[in-house]
């Protein structure tokens, strides 16, 4: 049966990189139907609303959503979509590419970030001229489902260790609710997947000094957001970093980078992050072999130096997308 994909190109380089990714999907033997819907900063300026009801409705009814990038309206668009579609996992892999300068070429880790609560629950108060607060919400339910996802993912992908990242020495109530829950879940996987925990500040250092010590990281929303950008920096920057937001019924796939206003409209943005994101979409939609093939094609394209300017090449966004497609067996 044809699967429906809603594309929300957004602002800045979003339309360029999602365009390249969709062209690739159209060149693969997959039964997908695409429809494009607006959202983002430009739309808000024009209409007063960053995420129209029709876009939200289409995203809710789709089999998968491909999102480009939005700038200042991220909370209204990205966070809202994640919450409405209950995509409780934010999956952010970081792998070194051969041919790209990298601090440690053996880096290969995946961050499984809880995507619905923590300091991103939207509970902020302006109490007085002097005092503002934000509430960190950590529930057992969300901690349990993210932990289970991380361990299942490790097992399915043949990864050996899950590391839970926290700050329970300073945030004992919320920190221990998360940590105790992950530990409980870890017991179900004893003998199959190793388990350890680590403080977030130490983790920030080890990601730079010894990224090989990590395999699958599971953590709360804010820590996951920051650590995954740090990890992206290790292997060549945001243009290479994909992400997948996954729930029981929905998937939203988006490059980690933002709108990159400094290079927008010039067809020079690196489409790799968007292309690898649709690789995750293919897996989610039931095409795991094609997903692997696409990932290999990206690796080969980069290793051959067929890249955009940010990686030292001279291809445009569109040309790099085509180069990847040509390296699959289907072009």
Choose which of 257, 281, 295, 327 interacts with ligand ATP (CB under 6 A): 257
Residue 10 or 211: the one with the smaller Cβ distance to ligand ATP is 10
Residue 201 bears catalytic tag: yes
Query: From the candidates 33, 101, 180, 201, which is the catalytic residue?
Result: 201
Residue 167 bears catalytic tag: yes
Distance CA 265, CA 290 (A): 30
Query: From the candidates 167, 280, 283, 287, which is the catalytic residue?
Result: 167
Contact between 269 and ligand ATP (CB under 6 A)?
yes
Distance CA 259, CA 256 (A): 10
Residue 62 or 264: the one with the smaller Cβ distance to ligand ATP is 264
Closest contact distance (angstroms) between CB of 264 and ligand ATP is: 8
Degrees (nearest 5) of the Cα angle 289, 290, 292?
Answer: 65
Helix (H, G, I), strand (E, B) or coil at 89: strand
Per-residue binder mask for ligand ATP (CB under 6 A), 290-329, x = binder: --------------------x-------------------
Is the CB of residue 279 less than 8 Å from the CB of residue 287? Answer: no
Choose which of 40, 93, 224, 239 interacts with ligand ATP (CB under 6 A): 239
Closest contact distance (angstroms) between CB of 194 and ligand ATP is: 34
Phi first, then psi: give them for residue 198, nearest 5 degrees: -155, 145
Residue 193 or 276: the one with the smaller Cβ distance to ligand ATP is 276
Residue 314 bears catalytic tag: no
Distance CA 217, CA 194 (A): 12
Choose which of 9, 10, 15, 71 interacts with ligand ATP (CB under 6 A): 71
Q: Which residue is nearest to ligand ATP (CB)?
A: 258
SS (HEC) of 186-250: HHCCCCCCEEEEEEHHHHHHHHHHCHHHCCEEEECHHHHHHHHHHHHHHCCCHHHCEEEEECCCC
Using CB under 6 A, which of the segments 1-9, 115-123, 176-184, 256-264 binds ligand ATP? 256-264
Distance CA 78, CA 283 (A): 21
Contact between 219 and ligand ATP (CB under 6 A)?
no
Query: From the candidates 41, 63, 197, 225, which is the catalytic residue?
Result: 225
The beta strand positions in the chain, using DSSP E, are: 3-10, 32-36, 64-69, 89-95, 108-114, 124-126, 132-134, 161-166, 194-199, 216-219, 242-246, 251-255
- Could you list the active site residues? 120, 167, 201, 225, 229
Chain residues that interact with ligand ATP, rule: CB under 6 A? 12-13, 17, 69, 71, 238-239, 257-263, 269-270, 273, 310
């Amino acid at each position: 049966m044809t699967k429906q994909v809603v594309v929300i190109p957004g602002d800045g380089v979003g339309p360029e990189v999602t365009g390249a990714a969709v062209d690739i999907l159209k060149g693969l033997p997959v039964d997908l139907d695409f429809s494009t819907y607006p959202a983002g900063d430009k739309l808000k300026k024009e209409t007063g609303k960053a995420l129209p009801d029709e876009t939200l409705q289409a995203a809710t009814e789709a089999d998968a959503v491909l999102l480009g990038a939005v700038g200042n309206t991220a909370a209204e668009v990205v966070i809202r979509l994640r919450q409405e579609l209950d995509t409780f996992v934010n999956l952010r892999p970081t792998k070194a590419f051969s041919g790209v300068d990298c601090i440690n070429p053996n880096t290969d880790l995946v961050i499984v970030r809880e995507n619905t609560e923590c300091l991103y629950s939207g509970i902020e108060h302006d109490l007085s001229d002097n005092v503002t607060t934000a509430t960190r919400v950590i529930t057992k339910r969300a901690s349990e489902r993210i932990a289970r996802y991380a361990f299942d993912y490790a097992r399915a992908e043949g990864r050996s260790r899950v590391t839970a990242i926290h700050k329970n020495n300073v945030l004992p109530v919320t920190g221990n609710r998360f940590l105790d829950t992950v530990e409980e879940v870890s017991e179900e996987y004893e003998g199959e997947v190793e388990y350890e925990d680590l403080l977030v500040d130490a983790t920030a250092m080890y990601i730079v000094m010894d990224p090989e010590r990590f395999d699958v990281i599971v953590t709360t929303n804010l820590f996951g957001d920051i650590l995954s950008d740090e990890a992206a920096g290790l292997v060549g920057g945001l243009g290479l970093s994909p992400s997948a937001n996954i729930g029981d019924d929905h998937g939203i796939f988006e490059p980690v980078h933002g709108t990159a206003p400094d290079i927008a409209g010039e067809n020079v943005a690196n489409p790799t992050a968007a292309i690898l994101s649709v690789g995750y979409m293919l897996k989610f939609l039931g095409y795991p072999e094609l997903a692997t093939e696409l990932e290999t094609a990206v690796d080969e394209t980069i290793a051959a130096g067929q890249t955009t300017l940010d990686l030292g090449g001279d291809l445009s966004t569109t040309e790099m997308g085509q180069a990847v497609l040509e390296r699959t067996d289907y072009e």
